[in-house]
């Protein structure tokens, strides 16, 4: 064997020991295939950054509004059920519903999807849900990041986060500062839990009661799995139409912390909100809350401090505008209730049960 043959043999042995990115757990080919699939729906996806044409001529003093959020442990339900087609809608909803609380119009959205091992069908389902959420919200999916990180996440788990930007004229900002005693609070009905309180819901229904996702409890007209995965309602187009026609004093997105924790964020320091707790329980806008409360059992105080209790948005208006806003809500097939009224106070939310709520 000559010297050149020895050198070639040594090189071949070294090549046999080389480790590839694929062997380390990251598949560039899968990531590229995912982009190719998405390009069929979003031709501009795949660039290093996203461009958005900002048309500001219709605004006198435009302000950009930004928000970021996730879906919380609702992800675990989607992962356990292996149903990933709606969780992207939840992600968009959590962001755009926050944006519209100040009167802003959502402009564009970006997502972050991270997993230990990329599964093409799963990732595609998730991202198609995000695309659908943006369609419902009337905003553009401008881009995002898909990260495959072996060792970072347990098998079959992934994380989602989203970021959105909207625009509002400075003089049209809605912040609750004009709310005064006598004003009323209108609750826009939710589609169940939305994306908050899932740690408590899972603890009660799945861990303690050992309920099956296929179970159809008497409180529900659907399976438990369907109720738990029902996507968060996107209110932003409706809110946009309302604020263009009616002077709105305040808007609260009811997420973690429930009505007390979120409505209090828009109350002036000298105004309290008295909420009709007994009526909210009696209305039973969604049976999932009754199921959690009775199965726990969970106190009403804990329920109101954790869940939206059937109302995903609360709008504050002066009573003279009530008929006008109710007409719009009915035209848009948005269920609603008058859930409370503003009184002199210290900026807190009081859930009234008239002594017999429990």
225 and 347 both lie in a single domain: yes
166 and 106 Cβ atoms separated by less than 8 Å: yes
120 and 192 both lie in a single domain: no
Strands (E), 2-139: 62-70, 105-115
44 and 101 both lie in a single domain: yes
Q: Is the pLDDT of residue 224 over 90?
A: yes
In whole angstroms, give the CA distance from residue 244 to residue 105: 11
Q: Is the pLDDT of residue 331 over 80?
A: yes
165 and 239 Cβ atoms separated by less than 8 Å: no
pLDDT of residue 52: 87
In a domain, 251, yes or no: yes
Residue with tokens 């009905």: 189
In a domain, 16, yes or no: no
State the residue range of the domain holding 211. 184-352
126 and 192 both lie in a single domain: no
Q: Is the pLDDT of residue 341 over 90?
A: yes
Domain count, the chain: 2
In a domain, 17, yes or no: no
pLDDT in tens, 49-78: 888 888 888 899 999 999 999 999 999 999
132 and 87 both lie in a single domain: yes
Q: Is the pLDDT of residue 351 over 80?
A: yes
222 and 121 Cβ atoms separated by less than 8 Å: no
Distances (CA, A) of 20 to 29, 111, 118, 152, 206: 13, 28, 16, 19, 41
Q: Is the pLDDT of residue 190 over 60?
A: yes
Q: Is the pLDDT of residue 107 over 70?
A: yes
210 and 305 both lie in a single domain: yes
Q: Is the pLDDT of residue 30 over 70?
A: no
205 and 327 both lie in a single domain: yes
In a domain, 357, yes or no: no
| Bridge partners of residue 106, in order along the sequence | 166
254 and 262 Cβ atoms separated by less than 8 Å: yes
Write out the two tokens for 72: 């919380």
231 and 337 both lie in a single domain: yes
Q: Is the pLDDT of residue 18 over 80?
A: no
68 and 164 both lie in a single domain: yes
Strand 105-115 with 184-189, pairing: unpaired
pLDDT in tens, 312-328: 999 999 999 999 999 99
In whole angstroms, give the CA distance from residue 43 to residue 350: 50
Of the ranges 56-60, 135-139, 249-253, 349-353, which one carries the lowest mean pLDDT score? 56-60
pLDDT of residue 358: 39
Determine phi and psi for 344, rounding to 5 degrees: -60, 140
């Amino acid at each position: 064997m000559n010297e050149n043959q020895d050198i070639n043999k040594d090189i071949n042995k070294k090549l046999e020991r080389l480790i590839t990115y694929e062997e380390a757990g990251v598949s560039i080919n899968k990531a590229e295939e995912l982009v190719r699939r998405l390009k069929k729906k979003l031709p501009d996806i795949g660039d290093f950054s996203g461009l958005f044409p900002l048309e500001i001529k219709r605004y006198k003093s435009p302000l950009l509004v930004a928000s970021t959020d996730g879906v919380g442990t609702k992800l675990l339900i989607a992962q356990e059920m292996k149903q990933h087609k709606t969780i992207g809608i939840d992600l968009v909803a959590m962001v755009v519903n926050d944006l519209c609380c100040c009167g802003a119009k959502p402009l564009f959205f970006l997502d972050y999807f991270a997993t230990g091992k990329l599964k093409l069908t799963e990732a595609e389902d998730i991202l198609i849900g995000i695309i659908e959420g943006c369609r419902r919200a009337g905003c553009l999916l401008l881009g995002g990041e898909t990260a495959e990180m072996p060792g970072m996440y347990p098998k079959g788990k992934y994380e989602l986060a989203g970021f959105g930007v909207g625009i509002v004229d400075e003089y049209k900002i809605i912040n609750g500062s004009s709310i005064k005693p006598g004003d009323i609070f209108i609750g826009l009905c939710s589609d169940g839990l939305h994306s908050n309180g899932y740690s408590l819901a899972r603890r009660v229904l799945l861990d303690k009661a050992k309920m099956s996702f296929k179970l159809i409890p008497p409180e529900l007209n659907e399976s438990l799995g369907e109720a738990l995965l029902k996507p968060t309602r996107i209110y932003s187009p409706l809110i946009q139409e309302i604020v263009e026609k009616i002077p709105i004093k305040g808007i609260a997105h009811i997420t973690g912390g429930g009505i007390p924790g979120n409505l209090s964020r828009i109350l002036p320091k000298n105004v309290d909100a008295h909420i009709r707790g007994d009526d909210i329980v009696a209305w039973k806008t969604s049976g999932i809350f009754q199921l959690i409360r009775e199965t726990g059992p969970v106190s009403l105080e804990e329920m109101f401090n954790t869940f939206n209790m059937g109302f995903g948005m609360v709008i504050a208006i002066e009573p003279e505008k009530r008929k006008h806003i109710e007409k719009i809500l009915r035209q848009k097939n948005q269920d609603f209730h008058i859930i409370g009224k503003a009184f002199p106070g210290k900026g807190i939310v009081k859930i009234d049960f008239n002594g017999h709520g429990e």
